Structure 1
Amino acid sequence: MNIIKFLESFTTEGMINSMQAKGSRRDSFNQFQNMGKVAAMAAVPFGLSAFLAPTKANAATFMGPQETPTEALQLALTLEYLEDEFYAMALDSGIIPAADQAIIAQIAKHENAHVSLLANALGADAPAKPTFDFTAGGNFDPFNDYPTLLALAQAFEDTGVRAYKGQAGNLISNGDLLTTALQIHSVEAMHASQIRRLRGQKGWIVGSDRGGLPAAAQAVYDGEELAVQAGFNTSTVPNIPAAAGPESFDEPITGPTAVSIASLFIV
C-alpha cells in the first residue's frame, strides 16, 4: 500500500463525517465511563528560560496522569481543544495569506471534528474546555504576525502527534478506541507535515532538531533522534543514510510531558 495515499485518505470529508458519526454512537464507547509553554516563535530571542516559569494554571487541573483509557482520551481532548481554538482564532485574525487560507481552514475543520468526536465519546467524563492564552502572557503575538502563528502551529501539531502515539498503549485494550485514536494521530501527522512545509521545513522531524524554534521548544523534540526501534538499530541499515531510520519514526511523549507543554498556554 502507498503509505502517502493511506495517510491522505484520513483527511477527506468522508473521514470527518465518519468520525462524527462514531462520536454520536455512545453505545460503542460506553466503557469510557468505566475506565512545556511551547516557545514556538522564530523571531523571539532564544533566551527564554524565564518565560517558562509556571505562571499559568497547570493542565493537570483538567486531567490526571494518563493511565486509563478515559484519562488518555481526556488528554487528547484537551490538546484538541487547544488546536481547535487556535485555528479558529487564526482564521478570524485576517493575517493568513490567501494562498494558505484553504489549508488552514481544512486543518481547522479537522480539529473541530476531533473535538466533537472525543467529547461525545467521553460524555460526562469530558473535561471542561480550558481558557487558553496563545500570547503566553504577552510573549507572542500569533494573530498579528503570520510567521509566529505558523511557528506555534508547528509546535502544537508536533506535540499532538507524539502525544497520541504516547497514549496508544493506554488504549490497546480496546480495539475501537485504539483505531479511532490512531486515525486522529494520522490526521495530526498530516497537519504537522503541511505546517512544517509552509514554514519552509522538511515535512518531518529531523533528529531532535526543533526546526528553527527557540530553545524553550526543545521538549517537543527531545527523543526524536532515537535510532533503535523494537530492539533494532535502524541506523545500521546498509545503503541508506544513518539519519534515515530516526527520521522515519515519530517517538512518543508521555502524558506528563504533553501536560507540561499544553499547560503553559492555559490560563
Structure 2
Amino acid sequence: MNFLSLLDRISSVDAPSDAAPRRDLLRQLGQAGARAAVAALPLALGTPAQAAPANNSFDAVVLLLKLEDLLMDFYTKALAAPVLTNAAQAAVRLDFVRLQQQQQGHARFLRDTLSFAGVTPPPAPSFDFSGRRNNPANPVLFPNVLTDYTAFLQLAQQLEDASASIYLGQLAFLTTDKPLFDAVLRMQLVEARHASHVRTLRRSATPATAVKSWPSTADTAPTAAVLVPSTSSSGATPTSIYTFEANERQISTGTTVVPFPTILTGVNAVQSRAFAEAFDEPLPTLQATALLSIFG
C-alpha cells in the first residue's frame, strides 16, 4: 500500500484552512523526491518500537469493539444529559447524534464479524466516564463531563484522538484478512474525522481552546488528562496519550530513520514540529487496554 497516499487521505479529511502545513509536508515530500525513500514505511508506522505483545485478529476485534462500545455509550449518555440538552448546545447536538450513530454502526459491524467467525461477542461493559471505575471510593478523574460542555469536549477530544491511534495499533494484527483489514482501515479514517471535528468544536466553543485539527505539541494540554503506562523500561510510569504523538523520527526499514532534514531543504524546508504532526502514531495494545480500563 502506498503509505504517502494513505496519509494524504487521512490528513485531508475535515481539515480547515489552517491544515495547510500538514498537507504541505506530505506534498513537499513528493516534490523533494522522497516518495521512494519512505514508500517502504509500515502502514501508519503500526509496528511499535518495543516488541509487539501477543495478539491475533480476534483479540484486535474484541479490543476495537470495547472501544466502540465506550464511544457509543459516551455519546449516548451525553445526549441524554444536561451537557447536550440545554439550549446553548442545540446547534451542536446533531453533530453528536451523528457521531453516536456512526459508533453504533462500527460496534454492530465488529459484533457481526465475531459472530460470523463463531466467536461470541462480549457484552458491553458498564462505563463510568468520571474515571471512578464504577467505584464511589475512587477519585473523580474527569469531573463534570456530562454537565459542563468544556469538560465534555476535552474528554471527547482525547477519546477520539485515542480511538484513531488505537485503530492504527490494531491494524497490524489484521493484515492476513484483507476484507476485514480494509473495513477496519475505513473505520479508522472515520475516527480520525471525528477527532478532527471535535477539535474544531473546541476552537469554536466559548471559551475557545487552542488546538489544531490533529495532535500537536502546540496544543493546549488537557487539564484532565487521560494517562496510560509509558513504554519505558519502568513501564508503570503514567504518561499522556499525546506523548506518543510527539515523535519526530520515522523509520523506513529496520532501524533506518527517514532523513527529513536532509530531504526537505530550501523551499521545501519545514519546522521540525511538522514531522510529528504529519504522522499519526499508533497506540500500542498495552496502552490501549489500559486506557479502556479507566472507564469500564
SS at match of 2:80: helix
SS at match of 2:244: coil
Query: What are the within-5 Å matches in structure 2 for residues 165-204 of structure 1?
Result: 165-200=168-203, 201-204=211-214
Kindly indicate whether residue 67 of structure 2 is the aligned counterpart of residue 79 of structure 1.
yes
Q: Distance in 1 between matches of 2:11 and 2:155?
A: 27
1:103 to 52, 73, 95: 95
Please provide the CA RMSD for this pair.
2.3
**5+ long unaligned stretches in structure 1:** 9-64
2:9 alignment partner in structure 1: 3
SS at match of 1:95: helix
Q: Distance in 2 between matches of 1:216 and 1:104?
A: 21
Q: TM-score normalized by structure 2?
A: 0.65
Q: Residue 75 of structure 2 contacts residue 96 of structure 2 at CA under 8 Å; is this kept in 1?
A: yes
Q: Distance in 2 between matches of 1:209 and 1:242?
A: 15
Residues 88-139 of structure 1: per-residue CA shift (max 9 Å, x gap): 1111114220121121111111101001110111113322211111112244
In structure 2, relative to structure 1, the CA distance for the partners of 1:108 and 1:235 (3 Å cut) is farther
1:125 alignment partner in structure 2: 120
SS at match of 1:261: helix
Q: Residue 227 of structure 1 contacts residue 233 of structure 1 at CA under 8 Å; is this kept in 2?
A: no
Residues 155-182 of structure 1: per-residue CA shift (max 9 Å, x gap): 1111111111011110011111111111
How far residue 210 of structure 1 moved from its aligned partner, in angstroms, is: 6.6
Q: Which amino acid aligns with 2:176?
A: S
Kindly indicate whether residue 155 of structure 2 is the aligned counterpart of residue 152 of structure 1.
yes
Q: Distance in 2 between matches of 1:5 and 1:203?
A: 9
Q: Distance in 2 between matches of 1:210 and 1:259?
A: 25
Q: Distance in 2 between matches of 1:74 and 1:242?
A: 37
In structure 2, relative to structure 1, the CA distance for the partners of 1:195 and 1:66 (3 Å cut) is farther
Q: Which amino acid aligns with 1:74?
A: V
Kindly indicate whether residue 194 of structure 2 is the aligned counterpart of residue 206 of structure 1.
no
SS at match of 2:83: coil
Q: Residue 10 of structure 2 contacts residue 192 of structure 2 at CA under 8 Å; is this kept in 1?
A: no
Deviates more, 1:219-228 or 1:145-154: 219-228
How far residue 6 of structure 1 moved from its aligned partner, in angstroms, is: 7.3
Q: TM-score normalized by structure 1?
A: 0.72
Q: Residue 208 of structure 1 contacts residue 225 of structure 1 at CA under 8 Å; is this kept in 2?
A: no
How far residue 7 of structure 1 moved from its aligned partner, in angstroms, is: 4.2
How far residue 211 of structure 1 moved from its aligned partner, in angstroms, is: 3.4
1:67 alignment partner in structure 2: 55
1:234 alignment partner in structure 2: 260
Query: What are the within-5 Å matches in structure 2 for residues 50-61 of structure 1?
Result: none
Residues 61-103 of structure 1: per-residue CA shift (max 9 Å, x gap): xxxx661000000000000000000001111114220121121
Q: Which amino acid aligns with 1:129?
A: A
In structure 2, relative to structure 1, the CA distance for the partners of 1:235 and 1:133 (3 Å cut) is farther
Q: Residue 207 of structure 1 contacts residue 226 of structure 1 at CA under 8 Å; is this kept in 2?
A: no
- Residue identity over aligned pairs, in percent, reads 30
Q: Distance in 1 between matches of 2:216 and 2:283?
A: 16
